Chains A and B, each alone.
Chain A
Amino acid sequence: MPKLDQKPRVMLEEFRVKNAPDDYGMADEKWNFKKFAKNMRIVIVRLDNFEMEFDLIGVQPAFANAFRRLMLSEVPSMAIEKVMIKNNTSIIQDEVLAHRLGLIPLKADPRLFEYRPEDATVGTEFDTLEFSLKVKCSNNKSQPKDSFRPEDLYENHSVYSSQIKWCPLGNQASVHKEADVGPVHGDILISKMRPGHELDLHLVAVKGIGKDHAKFSPVATASYRLLPDITLTREVTGGEATLLQSCFSPGVIGIDSEGRAFVQEARYDTCSRNVYRYDEIKDSVILSRIRDHFIFNVESVGAMPPNIIFIQAVKILRDKCKSLLDELNTL
């Protein structure tokens, strides 16, 4: 049995996840800044406007988890909070309509806005975005004959998020560009209507955090997984090798020219542990995960790019630490 390297790891056994016997979790470890600075690394694997994958290496799970939690619940974003319903004759109920509108992601950089004071009754240009949605469904005058498709028969029979119009407050029109404000996606179906139905709504978006309501969360999800590690304990060849290969995600196990299996890239493994189903090969691998190697995946909802969201989370953590320290110092 080959000796495993010194990385901290959890063992994925057949029926449970097991820490090494002497490992009581890294929470007990004495924290040393120098050591931390030396080990800590961030590797960005993939980044676009909506999604980011990066590795956070050499930190304790509490750190990684804190960032994950902050991204989910404390990084602010803008969302529709109030809906003034002037007219709603569609079949969708006022409350349900308001709820649906609230969940539409808005592209508005929350860093440019302030939280609206709790006692404020009207918003200002610094803390509020206002929109209007005014749609009326009617019969299509130039409807083609013999067609029964609603899109031919009626006009505006579906209300989409693209129909939401921004109403700049005060100086907003000059501060923000038209393209930077509004729903992220234009094709979100809000309601379906029939002739005679009408929506006349005034929407008020404010800045908020995910703790308050999930609609304020800037991420669709932010989570991490630990880096998988696969070690072969013996030589696996021939049929067993292909069987072994099939037990893991594609690209994890390779087979060399002599038919021997080798670990190609453990990172891609989904840790399905299906190798334990086969008695003949279950002894040939040790499955484990590196405890201080977090593969983060951040999916932004669209208001901010994911890397900014992460940085925001870091800033929030810093501010929290600072305020704690300040409090402690005043004692």
Chain B
Amino acid sequence: MGELNKNTEWESTKGLREPIKELEDKWKLVPSFLQVKGLVKQHIDSFNYFINVEIKKIVQANEKVFCDADPLFYIKYLNAYVGTPDLEEGFNVTKPTTPHECRLRDMTYSAPITVDIEYIRGNQRVIKNKQLIGRMPLMLRSSNCVLTNKSDFELAQLNECPHDPGGYFIIRGQEKVILIQEQLSRNRMIVDEFKGAIQCQVTSSTHEKKTRTNVIVKNGKYVLRHNALTDDIPIAIAFKAMGICSDQEIMQLIGTDDTTMKKMGPCIMECHNLKIFTQNQALAYFASKLKVKRFQTANSKSRSPIDEARDLLATTILAHVAVENYNFYVKAIYLAIMVRRVIDAESNRTAIDDPDYYGNKRLELAGSLLALMFEDLFKRFNWELKSIADKIIPKVKAAPFDVVKHMRPDLIANGLFAAISSGNWTIKRFKMERHGVTQVLSRLSYISALGMMTRVNSQFEKTRKVSGPRSLQPSQWGMLCPSDTPEGEGCGLVKNLALMTHITTECSEEPIARLACNAGVEDVRLLGGEEINHPAVYMVFLNGNILGVSRQYKRLIRVFRMFRRRGLISAFVSIYPNHNQRTVYICSDGGRLCRPYIVVENGHPLVQQSHIHELKRGIRKFQDFLNDGLIEYLDVNEENDSHIATRESDIDPYVTTHLEIEPFTVLGVCAGLVPYPHHNQSPRNTYQCAMGKQAMGTIGYNQKNRIDTLMYNLVYPQCPMVKTRTIELTNFDKLPAGQNATVAVMSYSGYDIEDALILNRASIDRGYGRCLVYKSAKTTMKRYSNQTSDRILGPSRDANTGKVIRAHDILDTDGIAAPGEMVENRQVLINKQMPPATLNPVAQGQPQSVDYKDVPITYKGPVESYIEKVMVSSNSEDAFLIKILLRQTRIPEIGDKFSSRHGQKGVTGLIVQQEDMPFNDRGICPDMIMNPHGFPSRMTVGKTIELLAGKAGLMEGKFHYGTAFGGSKVKDVCNELEKHGYNYHGKDIFYSGLTGEPLEAYIYSGPVYYQKLKHMVQDKMHARARGPRAVLTRQPTEGRSRDGGLRLGEMERDCLIGYGASMLLMERLMLASDAFSADICGECGRLASRAWCHACRSSAAVSTVEMPYACKLLFQELASMNIVPKLTLKRYC
């Protein structure tokens, strides 16, 4: 019977249940998306918004400057502009510049900020256009950058790599990234549990103020807590202070059901007990709880405390809810909702918000951070102008006061430069003090630079040991990469954006508010509490502010989504209901995470195969999909109101609303490099994400033009045999970092334990793993205030032989090392000299050349380098700038670190001659042997599949794909192998190179993409017999860079004690370190000097004792503190 029923049910829905055909090449939408949005588009969009829109708003908000001295004087800013990048060449001459010039010459890539102003000079009103007020560091590839909209050829002429993502700044030659900052969203109610008590918290943020308001439960009563108040205010008093004086009205706003009434009872009672009935009484109560202001200004003195309390209530408490003419009604409703939320959460714990939920988070980008900083600096700039005006106007002068002459562009320019170059964001107005906001762009590899641009930094303290903020949130799905996070203290706090994530920029609220009203939202100001809290009514919020109520919320949402798909409102406006709170939220604020999805209607994705064909032919662009409403952006909150199918086959015709574009886009840039990541144990992908950033390869097409302090390049980088779609999208195949090594998975010799690798000598001879290490030396020729300056001398000659001394062997006649020369340890690169006095003016006529001090730039390092090139230029201080690029070619050696793309790192354990390597029937010798013990515990199945796919790809002459959640199937790959006469499982017969007989096991072998990591023995090897000692303690110095000793640590010491090797201990800890013969007076037990005891005035009992110098030092230091350590001496034999 049941069977039959099922059948009929199936019959009736047959039309709907028909399997939906999979869209072919749907992934083509991803490159099309990245074409418009790009990987670092978030940064660039945000910065563009700042320099084109927000900067004008900021200037407008602070448009007028008045002066106390002259009531007629004013400055009015009419407009503000950010220009195109240029360099100041002195004498107000500027010259257009390029980013690469700034990099090389240690300059700042910036553009002038100019304003149009209207001001009073004397008695005239003057309008001045294009007045320079500061300089704005420019983000590369932003709208004002010279690189935007340039072809690859044009970029090449500007010495720029076409694959360079941009999105960073160049400050004094350094590339700086403003990391994406994650924080809790502003102006939203968040209900959370704090020390067992439930509270509702709102962090209000407006242009003027940032405050936090809490409604908490205290002794069973609800109170309002705020930083500006000394004490908590009972909630009923707060309502009364806002003019909601009747208790009934209060209850109607909060809710009139029994439980609410019961809970609110005590609060109302308390108010009565305090005898507060009117608004004025309540405000007086408020005033008594105000924090006493330290500085009374003339303005505030004249006002009564009640006025002040009213002001506080209007502007500071819940600052984001605007109050007009002291009409507090909307604010009271807002407060009532906060109380309501707390009451709800008390009885229903699921109503507590999750602060880690990504819908409650906002990401701050370069634009908004710079806007904060600029506004602060601009205000300071204006304040300074005002104080100058205050000072100068009263003085009678010949020329009328011209404020333009006092506008110093340095303040804003240096403030912005310093903030970006130090990463310290200090804004006193908001009590904001953040460190590490910017980082130097890591140019170790292309991927490390790209990975940095997608990094998201959390405001959370790294040292706290809580798991909540660190663990993977389900709401991060598709927005943040689940794999790419560092290990250790930053784990889970530092995240990376996924491939298709977009971060919204603000769009204006007014049209949305108007639209909402048209769609049936009623203004709350016209309604009473009973209507607002009616069960059939949903409250509508716009960016956390109450907009009104709607009786048909479903219609409202539908209308809004339709508007959005039609393009009538911004694609990034989101709307979603919350049924528990009976609210509809509309968001248009910046910093929300969102990503595009295919719209599904009636069980069918709107994107059809024909659309994809059009896309392939280039007729259709991603924007067209958006314009036609086939694809739309969903933010985290709206995602939760949608039913999203991962694949076409998952579409349920009744509920599905959206379809994922491509599942692999849930991963980020770094995790996207891993082939078959869905077959790996997840930590392995995380390890690879960290290691991919250390792999050397190519960093950009302009790498040969760069002079970086440290740069690693591979001589023969290769594109991986097993690619992923992400690799192609990020252009990793064009700027690769690694080589395809033929790997045999077998054990060999025993030098391969603990993940060590065996390399083939012949492969190395033929260029495998060869890398170039570039380092640079730099100096400037300074000019000093006393008219002296640094100088460079040609090579010195030996006085006797007349030959150039060895240290100066490589110098050209100009005193700078010549390109192409080999430099050895301690040879001079630049023979610079400094004048002896740089401060005191040198008397005229005095010969200056006498004792110039030698300050040569020397080369240090045990291995010689070659000079690649020398650059002589000038920097922003007009001093000569000399940069020398040094090069080393390094061949893999034992101890160099390699890693596959599956988090499997290992060092070279042995390098074997080719004839000793195993070989197979076809005469193939592996480049590398890897121990099979690396597999069972790591479970990196993806690596084994990569090997198979790579091998099949070699035979077919094509690249296989190991894209996440897709890629070439193992079965197909194996069939391909079989077709070419290989074993189906990829295991071949190998012969031992040593005995010539076949090996007993079949060997799994094929190409695997291996990365050479930057850790090389040459940079780490260190040993010391004798060497430098620290001055104070006479103990050996510490660290490789100081040629330090190798420490016998505490644990090693414990071992020796346990073993009883006391003489060895003595040798290691004293004799080999800081042995010292101290003279001790046997009489008084104190230190004697030169066999003479000063205390006893004799040398009779003085004997010499061997002790550590540190011990002697301790005694002397103690003696200096009036503690006399005394030694008792005894003869020991």
Contact = CB atoms under 8 A, between A and B. Distances in A.
A270 B981 contact: yes
Interface of A: 10, 12, 15-18, 25, 27, 61-62, 64-66, 68-69, 72-73, 85, 88, 91, 93-96, 99, 103, 210-211, 213-215, 217, 221-226, 249, 270-274, 277, 289, 291, 297, 299
B923 A221 contact: yes
A65 B995 contact: yes
Interface of B: 704, 715, 761-762, 765-767, 770, 772, 820, 866, 868, 887, 889, 913-915, 919, 921-925, 978, 981-984, 989, 991, 993-1002
Contact of B887 (A93, A211, A215, A291): A93
Given A17-B989, A61-B997, 10 more contacts: A25-B995, A65-B991, A69-B915, A85-B820, A93-B868, A93-B887, A96-B770, A214-B766, A270-B982, A273-B1002
B923 A222 contact: yes
A274 B978 contact: yes
A65 to B, nearest CB: 3
Contacts of B981: 249, 270, 272
User: Would you call the interface of chain A mostly helix, strand, loop, or mixed?
Assistant: mixed
Nearest to A148: B153
Which of B770, B913, B999 lies at the interface centre, i.e. has the most chain A CB atoms within 10 A of its CB? B913
Nearest to B997: A61
Contacts of B984: 272, 274, 277
21 contacts: A15-B1002, A16-B1002, A17-B989, A17-B999, A73-B913, A85-B820, A93-B889, A96-B770, A99-B767, A99-B770, A210-B915, A211-B913, A214-B761, A214-B765, A222-B923, A223-B919, A270-B981, A270-B982, A272-B982, A273-B983, A274-B984
Given A62-B996, A95-B866, A95-B889, A272 B923 contact: no
Given A17-B1002, A95-B889, A271 B989 contact: yes
Contacts of B767: 99, 103
Nearest to A268: B981
Contact of B762 (A68, A214, A273): A214
Contacts of A222: 923
Contacts of A68: 915, 996
A271 to B, nearest CB: 6
Contacts of A274: 978, 983-984
Which of A91, A214, A277 lies at the interface centre, i.e. has the most chain B CB atoms within 10 A of its CB? A214
Given A91-B704, A96-B889, A274-B984, A65 B913 contact: no
A224 to B, nearest CB: 8
Contacts of B715: 96, 99
Contacts of A221: 923-925
Nearest to B153: A148
Contacts of A103: 766-767
A93 B1001 contact: no
A17 B1003 CA distance: 11
A213 B913 contact: no
A125 B1002 CA distance: 50
Given A69-B915, A69-B993, A93 B765 contact: no
Given A17-B989, A93-B772, A225-B921, A289 B998 contact: yes
A72 B1002 contact: no
Contacts of B1000: 16-18
Contacts of B923: 221-223, 297, 299
Q: Enumerate the 9 nearest inter-chain pairs by beta-carbon distance, A residue then B residue, closest first.
A: A65-B996, A223-B923, A214-B765, A270-B981, A214-B762, A61-B996, A69-B915, A95-B889, A225-B921
A70 to B, nearest CB: 8
A312 B982 CA distance: 33
A272 B978 contact: yes
B818 to A, nearest CB: 13
A16 B1001 contact: yes
A68 B992 CA distance: 12
A96 B868 CA distance: 13
Contacts of A289: 998
A220 to B, nearest CB: 9
Given A95-B866, A271-B989, A210 B914 contact: yes
B767 to A, nearest CB: 7
A10 B913 contact: no
A64 B919 CA distance: 14
A187 B913 CA distance: 29
Contact of B997 (A18, A25, A272): A25
Contact of A213 (B765, B772, B925, B978): B765
B762 A217 contact: yes
Which of B868, B922, B978, B981 lies at the interface centre, i.e. has the most chain A CB atoms within 10 A of its CB? B981
A94 B820 contact: yes
Nearest to B914: A72
B915 A73 contact: yes
Nearest to B866: A94
B864 to A, nearest CB: 12
A313 B997 CA distance: 19
Nearest to B992: A65
Contacts of B868: 93
A95 B925 CA distance: 26
A99 B889 CA distance: 11
Nearest to A269: B981
A25 B997 CA distance: 9
A174 B887 CA distance: 43
A27 B994 CA distance: 13
Which of A64, A72, A211 lies at the interface centre, i.e. has the most chain B CB atoms within 10 A of its CB? A72
A325 to B, nearest CB: 23
Nearest to A100: B767
A272 B989 CA distance: 9
A292 to B, nearest CB: 11
A106 B326 CA distance: 95
Contacts of B914: 72-73, 210, 214, 217
B915 A270 contact: no
B762 A272 contact: no
Given A214-B766, A274-B983, A17 B1001 contact: yes
Nearest to B766: A214
A288 B924 CA distance: 21
A53 to B, nearest CB: 11
A291 B989 CA distance: 14
A330 B989 CA distance: 44
Contact of A17 (B761, B820, B919, B998): B998
Nearest to A215: B765
Nearest to A246: B978
Nearest to B1001: A16
B995 to A, nearest CB: 7
A65 B998 CA distance: 11
A12 B989 contact: yes
Nearest to A213: B765
A134 B846 CA distance: 55
Nearest to A66: B996
A266 to B, nearest CB: 13
A216 to B, nearest CB: 9
A25 B715 CA distance: 44
B810 to A, nearest CB: 15
Nearest to B983: A272
A69 B995 CA distance: 10
A12 B704 CA distance: 53
B982 A226 contact: no
Given A214-B765, A221-B923, A62 B995 contact: yes
Contacts of A226: 998
Contacts of A91: 704
Contacts of A213: 765
A221 B994 CA distance: 16
Contacts of A64: 996
Which of B820, B866, B915 lies at the interface centre, i.e. has the most chain A CB atoms within 10 A of its CB? B915
A222 B765 CA distance: 17
A147 B704 CA distance: 27
Nearest to B715: A96
A120 to B, nearest CB: 22
Contacts of A223: 919, 922-923, 991
